[in-house]
Chains A and B, each alone.
Chain A
Amino acid sequence: MNLMEYQGKELFRRCGIPVPRSQHCKTPDEVAAFIEKNPGKWVVKAQVLMGGRGKAGKIKFATTAEEGRKVAQEIMATPMPPNRQNPSGEPIHSVLVEETLEVALEAYTAISVDRTTKKPAIIVTKFGGMDVEEVHEKHPESFATFFVDTAIGYSPFIGRELAFKTDLDAGYRKQFPAIVAGMYDLFFKYGAKLVEINPLVLTKDGRVIAADAKVEIDDDALFRHPEFKDWQQVLPLDEDETLATQAGLGIRNFRRFGGTVGTMANGAGLAMGTMDAVKNAGGEIANFLDVGGGANAERVRSCYELVVNHTGAKVFFVNIFGGITRGDEVAKGIVEALKTTKSRKIPLVIRLTGTNEEEGRRILADAGMTPVETMDEGAKRAVELAASGVSS
C-alpha cells in the first residue's frame, strides 16, 4: 500500500521527523479558509500516488485566500496526465497546503528492504529533489548505503557515517542522525517496505525538513495496523486492480494488455510463463491472470467472466499445473463455469496437468472438452483460434 504525501507526513510527524506546517484540504473553499486564517506564503500540492506533479502543473503557489482557491481549483479540475504506468492518469481529490520553504540545499534519503543482504538498507545522496534513478545514472559515486543489522537496529553512528560518506553539507549534520532514527522507527513500527524523503531540505535559516514523503506499507503487514483502514479507502485502485478485486482476486493478480489471447494460470510464475508462450507463438496477450491456489468453480467462473467481459480476448487459454491446486477441482470449476455463466462464449484451450490430472482430464472429457498436452501446444492452438475466430 503506497501512501499519499499527506498520509506519509502524518506518520513522519508521529515518528519525530520534521515536516513543513501544512493543512490537508478536500476542496478549494477549505484551501481559501485555511489561508485566510493563516496568512503567509503557501504551496498547494495535488495529493496523488503518481509522480511528476511539478511538471504536470499540479504544484502551485499562493499568498492570498483567493489565490489559494484559484490554484486549488486549477489543480483539481483535471486529473494527473497519463503516463506509461498509469494509462488513465489519476483523479485529484485533495491537496496539501504547505508552508513554502526557503531552500538552501536538497538531499535524498531512503530506507528500503534489500533482498541480497536480507537487511534494511539506508541510502543517502546529497543530490535530492530530482528523480533518484536519474541521479544514480549521473552521479553513482554520490550514493552511500548502510545495511542495518536487525539485531542491533538503528544507532546514531549510522546516520553520522552516512552524512560524512556522502559529504552532506555541515548544515545537515547535527539533525541528520535523528531524522534517520525517525525513519527507521517508522519503517519498523508500521511494517514499511519503503520510507523515502526526496528532497530532504536544508533551509536558509538552518532547519532540516522533509519536504516530501513517500511511504509504502507492506500489504502483508496491514492486519497489524487496522488504523490504516480509513487511509486505504481513499487510495485509488486502477481499473485492473478494481476488476481483480471484484473477481475475488488479489489486486496484483490481473493485468490487461490489449491483445486477443486471454490467459489464466495458477501461480504468478506460470501465468507469466503462459504470456511468454503466447508471445512466442506469435500471439498478442489480452491479460495476465494468476488464479492462485485452490481454484474452485466460482473462482474459475468469475475469472472466465472477467476475461470475456473486460478484455478483447477471442480465445481463453487456461494453463493449470497442479501442485497445491487440484486438477479435478479446476476441471469441475471450468465445466461448472461454462454451464452457469451468462457471458458470451469464447473458445477455450485447456492445459491441465499435475496433481489429480487424470481425474481432471476425465471430467473435462466427459463434458466434451479436450485438454492439450503442453503449454507450447496450448499457446499455439490458442493463437490459431484467436486469428481464425473459429470456435473450438
Chain B
Amino acid sequence: MSIFLDKNSKVFVQGITGAEGSYHTGRMLAYGTNIVGGVTPGKGGQKTEHGLPVFNTVKECVEATGATHQCIFVPPAGAADALFEAYEAGVRFAVCITEGVPVHDMLRVVGATPGMRIIGPNCPGLISPGKSSIGIMPGHVFKEGNVGLISRSGTLTYEVVDGLTRAGLGQSTCVGIGGDPIIGTTFVDCLREFKNDPQTQAVVICGEIGGSDEEDAAAFVKEHMAGTPIVAFIGGRNAPPGKSLGHAGAIISGGFGTPESKIKAFQAAGVPVADRPSEIPGLLAQRMAVSV
C-alpha cells in the first residue's frame, strides 16, 4: 500500500505539450508512472513526443483512457479552471504544480469541489517510491520503504528524503503539500491517510514558520497517532519576524506561526523536533527502535 498513489493510478497531464509539462511527463514516465495521456486544448488528436494521446478536454481524456489522477502544469490564471474541468469530468484526485495561483481562485475551488483530493498548488507533487510519481520530484533520491513524509517545501523535502534514503529508511509516500495560504491538502489530511496505511510505520513532518498547520498536526498526533514514531522539523527558524521569505506561508506574525509555538506544540504531542534535517534519520530510527 501507500497513500493517494500507487502503480495502478492512471495519470493524465494537463498542459502536457508545454515546456515543463512535456519535460516532466518524460521524467515521470521514466520513473514508472502510469501516464495514459494529456490535455492541451486545440491539440486534441495529436501524440506527444512520448507517444501519448493528447485530448482537447479532460472529459474526452477521461472517457478514452480511464484516467483518475490529474497533474497540472498550466499557467496560474488557468489552474482553477483546470481543477473545475477535472471535477466536472468526475476526477477526484489532482496535483497542481503551478506556482502563483490567486488565493481567491483556490478559495472557490476548495469550497466547490467536495470529495476531491487536491495536492497543492505551488507544490512539487507526491511520490510513492518504487511505484509512481506525480509532479517534479527527483525520483532517484527516494527509496521504497515504510516512512511517510509530508512537507510544505519542495527542495527541503528532497534534502530530508536524501538523508532518510542514505540512512536506509525508505519511504511509503512523500507528499509536498505546497507553500500557499490555501492548499487542497494539509498535514492533518495526510496524517489521517498515513494512520490507516499498513505500509506506513513512521512519519516525518517537515514544517515551516508561519501559519498554524504544524500546530494542527501536533494536535492530531496527540489525539490519534500517539503510538506512531513521528519526527518533525521546522524550516526557517532563523528568519526575522514580520518578513515573508519566499513562500506566502513563511511569515511570522504575532505569537502564532513562530518556530517556538510550533516546537512547543510538537513536544507537547511527544514528537521530537530535529534541529537540522541531518538529525531526522537518527531521531526517527531511535523512535522506530531500529539501528541505522
Kindly state the separation between the CA atoms of A287 and B213 in the bound complex, as whole angstroms: 27
Which of chain B's residues has its CB closest to A151's CB?
A: B111
Kindly state the separation between the CA atoms of A374 and B281 in the bound complex, as whole angstroms: 14
Are A280 and B155 interface neighbours, CB within 8 A?
no
Are B238 and A276 interface neighbours, CB within 8 A?
yes
5 chain-A/chain-B pairs, Cβ below 8 angstroms: A116-B186, A221-B103, A257-B240, A271-B245, A290-B246
Are B157 and A322 interface neighbours, CB within 8 A?
no
Kindly state the separation between the CA atoms of A191 and B238 in the bound complex, as whole angstroms: 31
Are B138 and A113 interface neighbours, CB within 8 A?
no
Are B208 and A272 interface neighbours, CB within 8 A?
yes
Q: How far is the CB of B59 from chain A (nearest CB, A)?
A: 23
Q: How far is the CB of B61 from chain A (nearest CB, A)?
A: 24
Q: Which residues of B contact A250 (CB under 8 A)?
A: 246
The 0/1 profile, CB within 8 Å of A marked 1, for residues 92-109 of chain B is 000000001111111110
Q: How far is the CB of B82 from chain A (nearest CB, A)?
A: 16
Are B235 and A269 interface neighbours, CB within 8 A?
yes
Q: How far is the CB of B232 from chain A (nearest CB, A)?
A: 14
**Main secondary structure on chain A at its contact with chain B?**
mixed
Are A323 and B245 interface neighbours, CB within 8 A?
no
A388 beta carbon closer than 8 Å to chain B = no
Interface of chain B residues 247 through 292 with chain A (CB within 8 A): 247, 249-250, 254, 275-278
Are B138 and A280 interface neighbours, CB within 8 A?
no
Are A221 and B162 interface neighbours, CB within 8 A?
no
A130 beta carbon closer than 8 Å to chain B = no
Are B250 and A272 interface neighbours, CB within 8 A?
yes
Interface centre among A136, A149, A150, A267 (most CB of B within 10 A): A267
Are A376 and B276 interface neighbours, CB within 8 A?
yes
Are B236 and A272 interface neighbours, CB within 8 A?
yes
Interface size, chain B (Cβ < 8 Å)? 64
Are A273 and B239 interface neighbours, CB within 8 A?
no
- Name the contact of A273 in the complex, choosing from B105, B107, B235, B244 (C-beta under 8 A): B235
Which of chain B's residues has its CB closest to A351's CB?
A: B159
Are A252 and B244 interface neighbours, CB within 8 A?
yes
Are B136 and A324 interface neighbours, CB within 8 A?
yes
B residues near A, CB below 8 A?
20, 24, 27, 76-77, 100-108, 110-112, 124, 136-138, 141, 151-159, 162, 179, 181-183, 186, 206, 208-209, 211-213, 216, 235-247, 249-250, 254, 275-278
A296 beta carbon closer than 8 Å to chain B = no
- Name the contact of B76 in the complex, choosing from A220, A255, A276, A288 (C-beta under 8 A): A220
Interface of chain A residues 324 through 378 with chain B (CB within 8 A): 324-325, 353-355, 374-376
Are A321 and B100 interface neighbours, CB within 8 A?
no
Q: How far is the CB of B85 from chain A (nearest CB, A)?
A: 18
Are B136 and A220 interface neighbours, CB within 8 A?
no
Are B101 and A354 interface neighbours, CB within 8 A?
no
Q: Which 3 A-B pairs have the closest CB atoms?
A: A269-B153, A268-B246, A267-B155
Q: How far is the CB of A41 from chain B (nearest CB, A)?
A: 35
Kindly state the separation between the CA atoms of A354 and B77 in the bound complex, as whole angstroms: 30
Q: How far is the CB of A376 from chain B (nearest CB, A)?
A: 5
Which of chain A's residues has its CB closest to B19's CB?
A: A294
Are B138 and A375 interface neighbours, CB within 8 A?
no
- Name the contact of A221 in the complex, choosing from B102, B111, B151, B276 (C-beta under 8 A): B102
A386 beta carbon closer than 8 Å to chain B = no
Kindly state the separation between the CA atoms of A201 and B106 in the bound complex, as whole angstroms: 33
- Name the contact of A272 in the complex, choosing from B104, B151, B235 (C-beta under 8 A): B235
Q: How far is the CB of B175 from chain A (nearest CB, A)?
A: 14
Q: Which residues of A contact B138 (CB under 8 A)?
A: 321-323, 354-355
Which of chain A's residues has its CB closest to B122's CB?
A: A220
- Name the contact of B102 in the complex, choosing from A115, A120, A218, A273 (C-beta under 8 A): A218
Q: How far is the CB of B223 from chain A (nearest CB, A)?
A: 16
Kindly state the separation between the CA atoms of A84 and B253 in the bound complex, as whole angstroms: 13
Are A321 and B158 interface neighbours, CB within 8 A?
yes
- Name the contact of B276 in the complex, choosing from A255, A270, A280, A285 (C-beta under 8 A): A280
Are B238 and A279 interface neighbours, CB within 8 A?
yes
The 0/1 profile, CB within 8 Å of B marked 1, for residues 288-324 of chain A is 1010000000000000000000000000000001111
Which of chain A's residues has its CB closest to B215's CB?
A: A116
A118 beta carbon closer than 8 Å to chain B = yes
When A221-B102, A280-B275, A321-B159 are in contact, do A268 and B238 touch as well, CB less than 8 Å?
A: no
Q: Which residues of A contact B244 (CB under 8 A)?
A: 252
When A279-B238, A354-B141 are in contact, do A149 and B103 touch as well, CB less than 8 Å?
A: no
Kindly state the separation between the CA atoms of A290 and B99 in the bound complex, as whole angstroms: 14
Are A133 and B208 interface neighbours, CB within 8 A?
no
Kindly state the separation between the CA atoms of A76 and B62 in the bound complex, as whole angstroms: 63
Which of chain B's residues has its CB closest to A277's CB?
A: B276
Q: How far is the CB of B20 from chain A (nearest CB, A)?
A: 7
When A221-B104, A223-B77, A268-B250 are in contact, do A323 and B124 touch as well, CB less than 8 Å?
A: yes
Which of chain A's residues has its CB closest to B216's CB?
A: A116
Are A323 and B254 interface neighbours, CB within 8 A?
no
Are A115 and B277 interface neighbours, CB within 8 A?
no
